């Protein structure tokens, strides 16, 4: 009996001694610490980066030829490039590179590096390569199409007279970032253009360098002393992988991190009353939509498609479960793009939906399945839609799956309805028009699989219209063409476009100067102060 008590006493004393005051660490004043789910980073090579998180990292570590004002994307200017001239036939653009600028390694930035960066991206042919190859470039001809014409000048040739805005926006994408040729080639092996090395290393010229990447753990970035612009106030920026919003919130409240990037609607509500914290938001280009497979006998009826557009309670979802994370948006070009359409003609109207269903010959509704990725947001939205659909007699069964499974099914056109989120690849309207409004080949073994193809939507005329918009040189005319396209698309398409994503950032009050741009590689912390 006594031994028992003594034992317990000893144990408790020992534990309390050791566990007593856990020092609350505040973040060092010259280091910015962000908590973000960075498990989608798979590579640091700009020729391969296609994920949001890696894009942001690269956006702060590298520079591209062209940049734009995040507040107004129509204001385009040159970053690495000083100016450019478009050839009279519109089939090539000549760039003049700014002189006297350096990479982080100390090497000078020349046209040779730019040409190297662009040609290697095409030759390596990784996932984002299509952004450049769509201009008629491929591994065989790219050395003749992208040529250096002087130490600080180069020509970019294409196979057609594409709209200059399109080309320039494409060059702002991550795949167009400039890498240090000398450093990369020092580490090349077997003619891989330094790919194996650059996957996990850095050779850029941006405000920060990438010092270290520990997959699923952290990314450490340091101030680039050779940066040609103003030196960033922060000496270090660290991304910490914390997958849970609730955990990020706790860390933010305690002051263990400066910025939390994955706050959900409830976390934001809870933090709203905290005077030490500020919530910043910025519209992003991702769109939430439903894809209705036209191979399904019910979904192919035009009245049914229309009816379903009236059976989603857009505003309520945006005000409750996705509060602060989305805005209602119903056209395929997100707000912030050239030619965006912000009309929202649809809202929940069960009576009208029932009328339309009756007109289609299915007054009592029907049963249909929806493939749902099991992330909390998508699942939440899906369940809410399930409820409103049921009010008109449409029984929607949710088929869950992880990202890869649902995607595999979608690409094989084996779904009824797919609920998804589409992010733009580059900051030009064609990125979404290409996928929502073009379907050049609807056969089962088509070479390209845009979203319109995945839902078996035959649209020969719309495809031609989208193609024409790509070649329109005048920016205003081009914008109008897209608006017209979207107005038609809204009414006739098998896409129920619902929301546009808002990026949310929670920061401690003393952290200032973070810029949230329209695209992830625009998010910049070069101006952050604490």
Partner 1 sequence: MSITDTEGGRGSALFPFLWKTVKLLATVALTFLGLLIVTFLIGRVVPVDPVLAVVGDRASKSVYDKAFIELGLDRPLYEQFWLYLTKILTGDLGTSMLTKRDIVDDIARFFPATVELATVGILIGTLIGVPVGVWAAVRKGKLVDQVVRVLGLVGYSAPIFWLGLLGLLVFYARLQWVGGPGRIDIGFEYSITQNTGLLLIDSAMQGEWAAFRNIFGHIILPASLLGYYSMAYISRMTRSFMLNELEQEYIVTARVKGVPEWRIIWVHALRNAAVPLVTVVALSYANLLEGSVLTETVFAWPGLGQYLTNSLQNADMNAVLGCTLVIGAIFVGLNLISDLLYGLLDPRVRRRA
Partner 2 sequence: MTVASRREWLLSDRPESRRQARLGQIYRTWLSFKTNWLAMIGLGIVLLLCVVAVFADVIAPYDPVIGGDLRTERFLPPFTGDHLLGTDDLARDIFSRIVHGARLTLMVVALVAVIATPIGLLVGTTSGYFGGWVDTVLMRVTDIFLAFPRLILALAFVAALGPGIENAIIAIAITSWPPYARLARAETLTIRDSDYINAARLQGASSARILWGHITPLCLSSVIIRVTLDMAGIILTAAGLGFLGLGAQPPQPEWGAMIASGRRFIIDFWWVATVPGIAIFVVSLGFNLLGDGLRDVLDPKAHGNTDTAKARP
- For residues 469 to 498, the per-residue mask of contacts with partner 2, x marking binding by CB under 8 A and - elsewhere, is ------------------------------
Q: Determine, following the binding rule CB under 8 A, whether residue 38 of this chain makes contact with partner 1.
A: no
Q: Which does 26 bind (CB under 5 to 8 A by kind): partner 2, partner 1, none?
A: partner 1
Q: Which does 464 bind (CB under 5 to 8 A by kind): partner 2, partner 1, none?
A: none
Phi then psi for 415, rounded to 5 degrees?
-105, 170
Q: Determine, following the binding rule CB under 8 A, whether residue 512 of this chain makes contact with partner 1.
A: no
Q: Rounded to whole angstroms, how far apart are CA atoms 116 and 121? A: 8
Q: Determine, following the binding rule CB under 8 A, whether residue 319 of this chain makes contact with partner 2.
A: yes
**Residue with smaller CB distance to partner 1, 1 or 144:** 1
**Residue with smaller CB distance to partner 1, 253 or 503:** 253
Least spacing, CB of residue 369 vs partner 2, in Å: 12
Q: Give the β-pairing of 495-508 and 259-260.
A: antiparallel
Q: Determine, following the binding rule CB under 8 A, whether residue 243 of this chain makes contact with partner 2.
A: no
- The alpha carbon dihedral of 210, 212, 215, 217 has a sign of negative
Identify any residues that bridge with 95 across adjacent strands, giving them in sequence order: 84, 154
475: buried, middle or exposed (CB in 10 Å: 19+, 13-18, 0-12)? middle
Q: Rounded to whole angstroms, how far apart are CA atoms 495 and 455? A: 9
Q: Determine, following the binding rule CB under 8 A, whether residue 407 of this chain makes contact with partner 2.
A: no
Q: Determine, following the binding rule CB under 8 A, whether residue 247 of this chain makes contact with partner 1.
A: yes
Q: Determine, following the binding rule CB under 8 A, whether residue 347 of this chain makes contact with partner 2.
A: no
Q: Determine, following the binding rule CB under 8 A, whether residue 244 of this chain makes contact with partner 1.
A: yes
Residue 352 in tokens: 């009208």
- For residues 186 to 225, the per-residue mask of contacts with partner 1, x marking binding by CB under 8 A and - elsewhere, is -------------x--------------xxxx--------
Q: CA 198, 515, 320 angle in degrees (round to 5)?
A: 110
Question: Applying CB under 8 A, which of residues 176, 264, 365, 429 lies at the interface with partner 2?
Answer: 264
Residue 239 in tokens: 């991304």
Interface size with partner 2, residues (CB under 8 A): 29
Distances (CA, A) of 401 to 174, 243, 244: 30, 19, 20
Q: Determine, following the binding rule CB under 8 A, whether residue 33 of this chain makes contact with partner 1.
A: yes
Find the length of the chain: 530
Candidates 149-157, 171-179, 239-247, 391-399: pick the segment binding partner 1 (CB under 8 A).
239-247
Q: Determine, following the binding rule CB under 8 A, whether residue 100 of this chain makes contact with partner 1.
A: no
Q: Determine, following the binding rule CB under 8 A, whether residue 411 of this chain makes contact with partner 1.
A: yes
Residue tagged 């005000």 (tokens): 319
Q: Determine, following the binding rule CB under 8 A, whether residue 39 of this chain makes contact with partner 2.
A: no
Candidates 97-105, 387-395, 396-404, 476-484: pick the segment binding partner 1 (CB under 8 A).
396-404
Phi then psi for 100, rounded to 5 degrees?
75, 20
Q: Rounded to whole angstroms, how far apart are CA atoms 99 and 516? A: 29
Look up residue 325 and give its DSSP letter: T
Phi then psi for 478, rounded to 5 degrees?
-60, -45
Q: Rounded to whole angstroms, how far apart are CA atoms 83 and 77? A: 8
Residues 201-240 that bind partner 2 (CB under 8 A): none
Residue 396 in tokens: 């929607």
Q: Helix (H, G, I), strand (E, B), or coil: what is residue 13?
A: helix
Residue 265 in tokens: 């609607």
Q: By the criterion CB under 8 A, which residues form the site for partner 1?
A: 1, 3-4, 7, 11, 15, 18-19, 21-23, 25-28, 33, 39-40, 42-43, 50, 125-130, 133, 199, 214-217, 238, 240, 242-244, 247, 250-251, 254, 256-257, 402-405, 407-408, 411, 425, 447-448
Q: Using CB under 8 A, list all residues that contact partner 2.
A: 244-246, 249-250, 264, 266-267, 270, 313, 316-317, 319-321, 374, 376, 379-380, 383-384, 386-387, 390, 398, 400-402, 405
């Amino acid at each position: 009996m006594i031994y028992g008590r003594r034992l317990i006493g000893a144990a408790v004393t020992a534990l309390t001694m050791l566990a007593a005051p856990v020092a609350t660490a505040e973040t060092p004043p010259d280091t910015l610490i962000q908590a973000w789910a960075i498990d989608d980073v798979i590579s640091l090579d700009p020729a391969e980066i296609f994920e949001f998180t890696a894009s942001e990292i690269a956006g702060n570590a590298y520079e591209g030829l062209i940049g734009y004002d995040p507040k107004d994307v129509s204001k385009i200017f040159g970053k690495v490039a000083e100016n450019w001239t478009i050839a009279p036939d519109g089939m090539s653009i000549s760039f003049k590179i700014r002189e006297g600028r350096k990479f982080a390694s100390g090497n000078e930035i020349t046209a040779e590096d730019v040409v190297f960066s662009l040609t290697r991206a095409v030759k390596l042919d990784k996932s984002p390569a299509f952004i450049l190859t769509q201009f008629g470039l491929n591994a065989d001809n790219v050395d003749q199409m992208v040529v250096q014409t002087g130490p600080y000048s180069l020509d970019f040739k294409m196979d057609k007279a594409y709209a200059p805005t399109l080309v320039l926006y494409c060059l702002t994408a991550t795949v167009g970032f400039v890498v240090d040729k000398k450093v990369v080639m020092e580490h090349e092996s077997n003619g891989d253009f330094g790919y194996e090395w650059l996957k996990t290393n850095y050779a850029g010229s941006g405000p920060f360098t990438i010092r270290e990447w520990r997959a699923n753990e952290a990314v450490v970035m340091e101030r680039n002393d050779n940066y040609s612009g103003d030196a960033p106030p922060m000496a270090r920026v660290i991304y910490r992988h914390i997958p849970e919003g609730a955990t990020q919130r706790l860390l933010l409240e305690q002051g263990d991190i400066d910025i939390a990037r994955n706050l959900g609607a409830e976390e934001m509500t809870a933090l709203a009353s905290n005077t030490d914290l500020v919530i910043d938001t910025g519209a992003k280009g991702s769109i939430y939509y439903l894809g209705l497979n036209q191979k399904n006998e019910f979904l192919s009826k035009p009245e049914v498609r229309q009816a379903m557009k009236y059976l989603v309670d857009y505003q309520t979802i945006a005000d409750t479960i996705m509060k602060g994370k989305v805005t209602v948006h119903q056209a395929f070009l997100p707000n912030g793009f050239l030619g965006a359409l912000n009309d929202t003609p649809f809202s929940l109207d069960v009576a009208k939906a029932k009328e339309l269903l009756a007109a289609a010959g299915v007054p009592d509704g029907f049963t249909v399945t929806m493939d749902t990725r099991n992330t909390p947001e998508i699942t939440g939205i899906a369940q809410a839609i399930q409820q409103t659909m049921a009010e008109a007699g449409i029984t929607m069964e949710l088929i869950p799956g992880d990202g890869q499974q649902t995607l595999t099914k979608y690409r094989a056109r084996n779904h009824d309805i797919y609920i998804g989120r589409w992010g733009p690849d580059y900051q030009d309207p064609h990125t979404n028009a290409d996928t929502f409004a073009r379907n050049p080949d609807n056969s089962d073994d088509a070479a390209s699989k845009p979203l319109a193809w995945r839902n078996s939507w035959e649209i020969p005329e719309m495809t031609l219209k989208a193609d024409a918009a790509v070649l329109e040189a005048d920016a205003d005319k081009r914008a109008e063409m897209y608006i017209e396209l979207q107005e038609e698309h809204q009414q006739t398409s098998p896409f129920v476009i619902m929301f546009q994503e808002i990026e949310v950032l929670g920061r401690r009050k003393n952290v200032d100067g973070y810029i949230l741009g329209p695209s992830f590689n625009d998010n910049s912390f070069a101006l952050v102060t604490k």
